[in-house]
Amino acid sequence: MDVFLQQLINGLTLGSIYGLIAIGYTMVFGIIGMVNFAHGDVFMVSAFIALICVLLLTTVVGLSSIFLILAITLVVAMLFTGLVSWTIERVAYRPLRGSFRLAPMISAIGMSILLSNFVQVAQGPRNKPLPPMVTEVIVIRETNGYEVTLAYKQIIIMVVTAVLLAGFWYLVKKTPLGRAQRACEQDRKMAALLGVNVDQTIALTFVIGAALAAVAGVMYLMYYGVVNFADGFVPGVKAFTAAVLGGIGSLPGAVLGGILIGLIETFWSAYFSIEYKDVAAFSILVVTLIFLPQGLLGRPEVEKV
């Protein structure tokens, strides 16, 4: 029971991070039908930007308030990562829009290689550790020396995720931008004819997705305290799995999928074997796609003859 509770907390934390990344996949897939392979690496880049920002604030500026540091880092990472993603869309994807279906995918794979190696060259191949940032924990219960703890940083992650998701939800559901997005999703040509600026809408989709990935990046850095240039791929694939599990194209699905993947991963590690935790995540992806291709909250696709 105690182990279960602890794993539940850890799983929800991890799931929040996956969910945030997954939204980027699901939004981009929804609007232009493309798997943005570079999204995982955009997440990694955001974690590096956060690392630089934290170092700058702590060692150069000399800020000591951890919450101020986190808030500034969050904003800086979101802005810069959004810019990176905007540029990627503009340079590597937009020229290929409306052409051959595989071209943007290959371009995205190339971009993924480019980003991770760019970071490797610019920042070096070694792990970048930060001193632990938020170390306080709340002990929820204790039996026989086994403590079930809820760390402050876990609370921060869940709260930030929840708040940002709410804001993002409002953005997509209630604002003209959200409406334009949904219009482009339905029929891009028609939306253009009705005066929606399709290019701008798609670019903004990439920026929003990247900004949420940046939040995930900051949280990741704070939670694990270390980041490496190769850290984009596996969380990227898992977040994609989350998006698929929840039903690709569905925003609540992405979050639900993220949380489920996070829970499955932590429980699998705790109860079965930690070595096979990634195998478990990938197997879920395969099984979902085979038996429930539309995902948990997605709409089934009817084959048009």
Residues 59-88 touching other proteins, rule: CB under 8 A, are 59-60, 76, 80, 83-84, 87
Pick the binder of other proteins from 3, 61, 65, 90 (CB under 8 A): 90
The tokens describing 258, both together, are 């993220």
Among 8, 66, 92, 158, binds other proteins (CB under 8 A): 92
Site for other proteins in 122-181 (CB under 8 A): 122-124, 126, 128-131
**Spatial CA neighbour of 17 closest among 116, 154, 115:** 154
Query: Considering beta carbons, is residue 16 or 85 the nearer one to other proteins?
Result: 85
* Binding-site member from 188, 205, 217, 220 for other proteins (CB under 8 A): 188
Of the candidate residues 192, 263, 270, 292, the single one contacting other proteins (CB under 8 A):
192
| Gap between the Cα atoms of 254 and 236, Å rounded | 13
Contact 116, 41 (CB under 8 A): yes
Sole window of 15-23, 61-69, 155-163, 277-285 interacting with other proteins (rule: CB under 8 A): 277-285
- The identity of residue 138, as a single letter, is I
Give the total of residues touching other proteins (CB under 8 A): 84
Q: Does 45 bind other proteins (CB under 8 A)?
A: yes
Interface stretch with other proteins, choices 14-22, 66-74, 215-223, 234-242 (CB under 8 A): 234-242
